[in-house]
Amino acid sequence: MISDRGGGPVPAAGGLVRHRPVLREEALAALDLREGGTYLDGTFGAGGYTADMLAHEGTRVIGLDRDPGAITEGAALVAASTGRLILRLARFGAMDDEASALGALPLDGVVLDIGVSSMQIDEAQRGFSFRKDGPLDMRMERRGDSAADLVNTADEQTLADIFFHYGEERASRRLARAIVHDRGIMPFTRTKPLADMIARVVPHGPRDIHPATRAFQALRIAVNDELGELVRGLAAAERILRPGGRLAVVTFHSLEDRIVKRFLAARSGRGGEARSRHMPAELGSTSPTFALDSRQPTTPSVAECETNPRARSAKLRFATRTDAPPFALEDRLLDLARLPAAQNRR
């Protein structure tokens, strides 16, 4: 249980805390929580960050998650929050619409923990992991095209681009070619057969990570448009934070971190891209919309990495909103989330 100074103990979603967020203390410090503030947790998950925010007296939290299971399991935390928590089934890229509909603007802080959650990975039926055999699914929202649909229908070039750009897989072309050949004999419907095939095709050494790691990451990102959602979420946070409000983002691989780093560089005037802003109401304005508070990024301690191996690749970047009007969402930021073919089709 987590002590709530304002009204007794507040349990995490589903009862006890099942999952301790990576860089928890550092992310909460970056938010600079204040009494009576309103915050948005765009990646609710098991409610770890939200429960800690509610432990501060008078705070209110809007929790968003695109996974229906997370919202269902968060009912216990909603009940314990005595009206200070509202959960919504929604993508965090639409956080401005959700917060506006609730009459909660502007917000004092936004926190995002990017990527797949531990609960999703651990549930074999979700198909996110190759460690346990399950349906080749990977859909966070449990609707739309699955990883199996993508693997069995995308052309060879598209698959190669997905593996190379979203998974940084050097053997992307070889892997795509093998998938197209093998699916003609028998479609891929489960995680283990695909992972076994990847292990045969992708060169690797005995001390390397499992050869399917990068390919599964790439498929998950493509199925859920994770990088596009991140870009949209960052821009939405810029629109809904009050002057002095805080944005804190935890990422777990270089693709995510690159987007956050470049976004904040552009918005703080440190990256040259800040001069490209074109808003109809503020044409030509170049005032930074965020101020970076310290040397970035923040990384986990040795102790945290030892107790939670998932933390090893985590990075926290955070910034404070200024009073300047928001930037338009530039194509150059969206290009970081697109495959080359999609960029050329604009």
Instruction: Give the per-residue pLDDT at 164.
Output: 96
227: number of Cβ within 10 Å? 22
Go through the domains of the chain in sequence order and give each one's CATH number. Answer: 2-118+226-344 (3.40.50.150), 126-224 (1.10.150.170)
- Ordered mean pLDDT values, 10 residues apiece, the chain (346 residues): 32 44 93 96 95 95 95 96 96 97 97 78 70 92 95 97 96 98 97 96 87 94 96 97 98 94 92 46 66 90 88 94 93 89 55
Instruction: State the SS3 of 300-346.
Output: CCHHHHHHCHHHHHCEEEEEEECCCCCCCCCHHHHHHHCCHHHHHCC
Nearest to 259 by CA among 235, 286, 289: 235
CA of 287: how far to CAs of 35, 267, 283, 321, 334, in Å? 29, 9, 11, 12, 21
Pairing of strands 107-113, 38-41: parallel
Q: What is the model's pLDDT at position 209?
A: 87
Look up the pTM and report it: 0.88
pLDDT at position 282 is 39
| pLDDT confidence of residue 264 | 96
Q: Cis omega (within 30 of 0) on the bond before 68? A: no
At residue 119, the pLDDT reads 62
**Per-residue model confidence (pLDDT) at position 295:** 83
